[in-house]
């Protein structure tokens, strides 16, 4: 699946809202490849605990910069999906998740859609942000307390 066949839409990135911020990845091509990437060995669905969410800047860090937002299999390292994205909305997810209510376990959601169907919904607490050289930007990342990287 190519990056240009996936779009990213950020919803509820408002600290005063009552829903966690949500990154919606819409796959615009009709293919069975998406289903294959969301399944691990034995036919089991890839769970949130086995999925890493990452944003990597493609230029120096700036709210107006662009980068690549990606989902990958934590165990194998294989990419599930990736999309070119503006940094601003992704950083809004991070800020809203930090400032959101503490009454729910997950800080934000990732929804994978194909057509009009939600193929997968992941509740996540970690979103790692890297600069264009591949260095982790802790101040821009969501890292739960007690997690050592």
Q: In which element (H, E) is residue 109 found?
A: strand 108-114
Q: Is residue 9 part of a domain?
A: yes
Structural domain boundaries, residue 9: 3-140
Rounded-to-integer distance, Cα 79 and Cα 121, Å: 17
Q: What is the model's pLDDT at position 147?
A: 65
| Rounded mean pLDDT, 51-55 | 96
* CA nearest neighbour of 88 among 21, 30, 18, 2: 21
| pLDDT of 15 | 65
Residue 103 falls inside a structural domain:
yes
Domain count, the chain: 1
Burial of 99-108, coded b for 16+ CB within 10 Å and e otherwise, reads ebeeeeeebb
Assess whether pLDDT exceeds 80 at residue 110: yes
30 domain-assigned: yes
Distance CA 120, CA 27 (A): 12
Mean pLDDT of the residues in the chain: 88
């Amino acid at each position: 699946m190519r990056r240009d066949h996936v779009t990213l839409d950020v919803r509820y990135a408002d600290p005063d809202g009552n829903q966690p911020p949500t990154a919606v990845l819409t796959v615009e091509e009709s293919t069975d490849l998406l289903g294959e990437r969301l399944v691990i060995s034995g036919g089991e669905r890839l769970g949130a605990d086995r999925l890493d969410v990452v944003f990597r800047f493609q230029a120096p860090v700036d709210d107006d910069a662009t980068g690549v937002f990606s989902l990958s299999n934590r165990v194998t390292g294989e990419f599930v999906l990736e999309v070119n994205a503006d940094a601003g909305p992704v950083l809004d997810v991070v800020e809203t998740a930090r400032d959101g209510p503490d009454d729910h376990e997950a800080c934000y959601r990732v929804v994978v859609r194909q057509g009009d169907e939600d193929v997968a919904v992941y509740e996540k607490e970690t979103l790692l942000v890297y600069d264009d050289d591949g260095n982790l930007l802790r101040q821009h990342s969501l890292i739960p307390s007690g997690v050592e990287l």
